[in-house]
Amino acid sequence: MSERLWQRLGAACGILYVVLLFGPSSTGIDSPVVIVLELISLLLFIPFLGYLWSVLRRGEGQGGWLSATFFGAGLVAITIKLGSIGPGFAAQQAGLNPQLHEALDKMNSVAFITIMLPLGVLMAAAAIVILRTRALPLWLGWLAAITAPALLVNGMFFDAEFGPAFLLFLLWTAIASGVLILRAGEPRPVEAEAQTGRAAPVG
């Protein structure tokens, strides 16, 4: 398998994550199938996170810590969400005490809101790296800069039933995934500048 195909595979995991997470959950139907699809979407987010981290790290260069912050924040968000799947699944079981059902359902809801805090950090780190290094198009960096504070604010309201900022994050992820698919195999800005410098005539 060629290197470009591997890169496109990693980039495409972002779109698959959005489709499998948002599609079934938007129907409003609670079932084990929806939970399984949500779990698969979270697993797909991991390789997308790793691939996008490699792009940001290459743009930031050796010793850069913002791209590492991006990756770490993404792992924290996934961990929180994976931890909420158990209570969410248990809340769907028949014959539960109403108070226990409400408590389990609340745990799942609060976890959904809480993940917006590390996702806000993730978006902020991505925005800074992109705007500083142009590892991705600048407009994608500005969109991340808008999404980051929205996620951080939304993540403070634990009693919220809806997370509009999370929709912004999903939109950014889908767009970034598409951009990365199209740019797979192309030299990064730093690499392109290095190649230009080597090709320039001396004297």
Number of other CB atoms surrounding residue 46 within 10 Å: 14
Q: What is the pLDDT of residue 202?
A: 41
Cα-based angle 75, 43, 114 (whole degrees, multiple of 5) = 45
- Name the pTM for this structure: 0.83
Q: What is residue 63's DSSP assignment?
A: T
Q: What is the pLDDT of residue 50?
A: 96
Number of other CB atoms surrounding residue 30 within 10 Å: 14
Q: What is the pLDDT of residue 26?
A: 57
Q: What is the pLDDT of residue 191?
A: 44
Q: What is the pLDDT of residue 167?
A: 93
> Distance between CA 87 and CA 75 in Å, rounded?
20
Q: What is the pLDDT of residue 24?
A: 62
> Which residues in the chain come in under a pLDDT of 50?
190-203
The ranges assigned to domains in the chain are 3-196
Cα-based angle 158, 128, 59 (whole degrees, multiple of 5) = 130
Q: What is the pLDDT of residue 91?
A: 67
